[in-house]
Amino acid sequence: MLKKERAIYIVKKLEEVYPETPIPLDSKSKFQLLIAVLLSAQCTDKRVNKITPKLFSLGPDALAMSKLPLDTIYKTIRSCGLAPQKSKAILSLSKILIKKYEGKVPEDITLLEELPGVGHKTASVVMSQGFGYPAFPVDTHIHRLAQRWGLTKGNNVKETERDLRKVFPKSLWNKLHLQIIFYGREFCTARGCDGKKCEICIKCYPNRVKPFKASKP
């Protein structure tokens, strides 16, 4: 199976399994989405969704969040990984949004990446899920599956994103990146599939004998 053939099959299969792709993080605004995605680094979506109701009741928008004491933010998100760094980033970026953007999240990936605590992946998710721009945010699940399925030989998420953008039509990016994440969590897990157990791995590489070890991003 050639890479192009694998890509066509993967799109079809994922559409069968996940015809609907609800946004996994709960939010009521682009600001809340930005904060939720920031919190999701090294933290599960489930835990983030448990934390954010209280956080957003205290700081529903950039103005309210910018007025909260740092310690209040920290204590609210304490159960989330990297809480000290994240609480500082949340407070700082809220103040910047008030000062530079009238409290609004900028509709520009470059400006987003300049905000404290916001890397390329977080900015891409906000552009995709918040503003509807075509983007292909790559997390550890997507990086792992893209390697197992022979779609990339990238050594990091940046290289993997570049390769996936080439192999899949832009019109599919926003939905497809969520479908791959969902499949990676449910079927092609880090420990549950070694590149020759889940349905897509078997279809893409039916003659694979040895377990496939994906490189870490």
Query: Which residues have a catalytic role annotated?
Result: 121, 139
Contact 165, 203 (CB under 8 A): no
Burial per residue of 37-71, b for 16 or more beta-carbon CB atoms within 10 angstroms, e otherwise: bbbbbebebeebbebbeebbeebebbeebbebeee
User: Nearest-CA neighbor of 160 among 121, 133, 196?
Assistant: 121
Q: Distance between CA atoms of 176 and 181, rounded to whole angstroms?
A: 9
User: Nearest-CA neighbor of 35 among 75, 65, 11?
Assistant: 65
3-17 and 173-186 helices cross at what angle (nearest 10)?
80
